[in-house]
Amino acid sequence: MKIRGLYLVTPDWDDTARLAAAVDAALAGGAAAVQYRHKHAPPDLALRQARELLAVCRHHGRPLVINDSVELMLAVEADGVHLGKDDEHPRTVRERIGSGRYIGVSCYDDFERAVTLAPFADQVAFGSVFLSQVKPGAVRAPLELFGRARAQGLSTIAIGGIDGANAATVIAAGADALAVITAVFGAPDITVAARQLSAQFAGNGAPAA
């Protein structure tokens, strides 16, 4: 599985009904995939929210990826997992989950990390490409990384500070997917925001998972 198009990353909301409704609205706007990410959720809340979001994703025929936790991914039978530098090595995760599930890996601004981990992952993520409201102190990743990765045959995700004003620049640089939180979930109309960002991929192939 490769994610192409608008890739939703969930905000840290404890209100499960609000979160599910927002994700439903964004998927109705054309988002290609969802990553459940709630860094501070206790295990029972994380399990409840992941199950609810999986149902929403299944309704729309879109994949659900779990941030960090292979255990949570397996518990809810989600479509894949996204791993950071402090998580289990993707080689080990691939051995655990098999070839049928998705693995994404965060590579920050480190091109060599992307090349090294790509054999065990479906996609590599670079960011923060712009100043991020969620992680204002995050390392900045230059846009040239996406062109270099594409030249190596790697599929990439861009994350960090992406919105309607700069999305086209990131796509033109070579990103296959745009991971977004605030520009969608902080918008007055979530469906419209998702539709506008998804439309940035028009002419480059329809967003698809």
In tens, the pLDDT along 12-21 reads: 999 999 999 9
Average pLDDT over residues 118-126: 97
Tell me the three-class secondary structure of 27-82, residue by residue. Answer: HHCCCCEEEECCCCCCHHHHHHHHHHHHHHHHHHCCCEEEECCHHHHHHHCCCEEE
Query: Is residue 174 scored above 80 in pLDDT?
Result: yes
Q: Is 161 exposed, middle or buried (0-12, 13-18, 19+ CB in 10 A)?
A: buried
Q: What sign does the dihedral 104-208-126-175 (CA atoms) show?
A: positive
Cα separation, 201 vs 183, in Å, equals 16
Average pLDDT, the chain: 94
Which strand (E) or helix (H) includes residue 158? strand 156-159
pLDDT tens-digit series, residues 38-81: 999 999 999 999 999 999 999 999 999 999 999 999 999 999 99
Which of the four pLDDT bands, split at 50, 70 and 90, describes residue 206? very low
Average pLDDT over residues 138-153: 94
145 contact partners, CB below 8 Å, separation of at least 6: 109, 111, 114, 126, 156
Q: Indicate whether this model's pTM tops 0.85.
A: yes
Which of the four pLDDT bands, split at 50, 70 and 90, describes residue 116? very high
Residue listed under structure tokens 């923060």: 128
